[in-house]
Structure 1
């Protein structure tokens, strides 16, 4: 089962007089890269949040945004009402002096220094809010993980089709190989006839060089290894845990065998198929960048 590093999860709920909105987005990254945006009251909980995310999402660039909006019928002790009014009045005055828009003044005043202060919150209330927020965090992470699994299933189908493409072209190479060998034999015979009349012709040395030449052009071992790598790639895709890095290593081995077949083939129809296999392999490598 493969998992994509692209994911999205969102949950909403109430926590002690506030409406909470938890949103998680994930993108590609070689490692786990966490970016947290949480209310000031929960900044002391960042280590717990990071631990919670890393246990489930493993890899990727993860952006978490937690927003709390106070219920309109609840007066919160977190807000310094007097200080808020002073900020709002001053910002409004400045906006009028320079002819600026006043649309964002409320938000600006609300987030000004000490208007929303965690120092005004009772520790017991803070722990209650944190206890109520935790299930929302876990739910958002679970939704994001489900999204990744769905995307991973789509990627698995694509990768499977690319592997099938390589396997199909490999079978064509196998079918071409007898003709390739005959062409090489005819080429050798022609060269043999050209040099046999030479006074410097050494039959024993010529035979040794031909044996070396034929062995160098033999691709049977590469074909067997490539088949094994393709089979192993499919096995790893079917494992319970997503193994993006492992698949990356296998794709490197697949590429090595394809390149060797191309360099040994010395036969146009086979080299054409090798180009096709390389194209499929590049598609595989591109998709592996998005797999955990």
Structure 2
């Protein structure tokens, strides 16, 4: 079982740069991947998404890529031919005017195309480093989701066991509903009709009709099947969050029907316990794939 929440961090450092990848995820109905990275690294989005999809099938996954250069990425170049021409022109001006011409660095920078800057950050060159950092982060990410998933699994087993134990009491006491209803109706009708008499055969027929109406045997059969399926799902290898969510809706329907038909205090108490367990189960499965 795998949780939808997880965290991983990977970093690669060289003499020239530090590149890190942070991955974290939260609960979400579907798989959604968000990226935060330098614009020049956007060409890696498809590779990042592929790595995420290999680990996660549901949840909002945020991937944060950071790049820090430990040396300047800017290369300054001087057009030496143009500079030589300007130097020759200045020499002629000084010779003609007899005055020294002084140029500041700012004056030189103002000359168009004399001094130019280029950024040598080519993102593709950092692909191996990104892959290494991403692999480290994804391994941590997958492990953290697995660890949290195991904790959730243990809690789900505990809650399902609690629901099953209460349900066992309901199944044991289900027959008492019919006995209690029959005895109650017999006593009531006998009191009402004691002076006039009544057709016991007809009465028992009417009681049988009521017993069918108040019987919880069908609900017991369906709920038994749902609980068995829930144990199978959480012990399987496939993501089960969506299926468990649907199964909880079905179990809730059967438990509510049992509660509405029931006339025994002891069953009512167990219905409350089953509802409480089921609500906690539904909370937990919101965290799993």
Common fold: TM-score over 0.5: yes
After TM superposition, list the pairs within 5 Å mapping 1:232-247 onto structure 2.
232-247=229-244
Contact 1:9–1:24 under 8 Å retained in 2:
yes
After TM superposition, list the pairs within 5 Å mapping 1:173-184 onto structure 2.
173-184=170-181
Check 1:36–1:78 CA distance in 2 against 1; reply closer, same or farther (3 A cut).
Answer: farther
Q: Distance in 1 between matches of 2:174 and 2:150?
A: 36
After TM superposition, list the pairs within 5 Å mapping 1:192-271 onto structure 2.
192-196=189-193, 206-271=203-268
Q: Would you say 1:281 and 2:278 are equivalent positions?
A: yes
Q: Would you say 1:159 and 2:150 are equivalent positions?
A: no
Residue segments in structure 2 that go unaligned for 5+ positions in a row? 78-117
Q: Would you say 1:65 and 2:58 are equivalent positions?
A: no
Once the 2 structures are TM-superposed, how far is the Cα of residue 132 of structure 1 from its aligned partner?
2.3
Q: Would you say 1:45 and 2:44 are equivalent positions?
A: yes
Check 1:178–1:79 CA distance in 2 against 1; reply closer, same or farther (3 A cut).
Answer: farther
Q: Distance in 1 between matches of 2:15 and 2:196?
A: 102
Once the 2 structures are TM-superposed, how far is the Cα of residue 202 of structure 1 from its aligned partner?
6.8
Aligned residue for 1:56, secondary structure, equals: coil
* TM-score, structure 1 normalization: 0.77
Check 1:17–1:213 CA distance in 2 against 1; reply closer, same or farther (3 A cut).
Answer: same
Q: Larger C-alpha radius of gyration, 1 or 2?
A: 2
C-alpha RMSD of matched pairs (Å): 2.6
Q: Which portions of structure 1, spanning 4 or more consecutive aligned residues, are displaced by more than 6 angstroms?
A: 198-204
Contact 2:7–2:140 under 8 Å retained in 1:
yes
Aligned residue for 1:4, secondary structure, equals: coil
After TM superposition, list the pairs within 5 Å mapping 1:112-191 onto structure 2.
120-121=119-120, 125-191=122-188
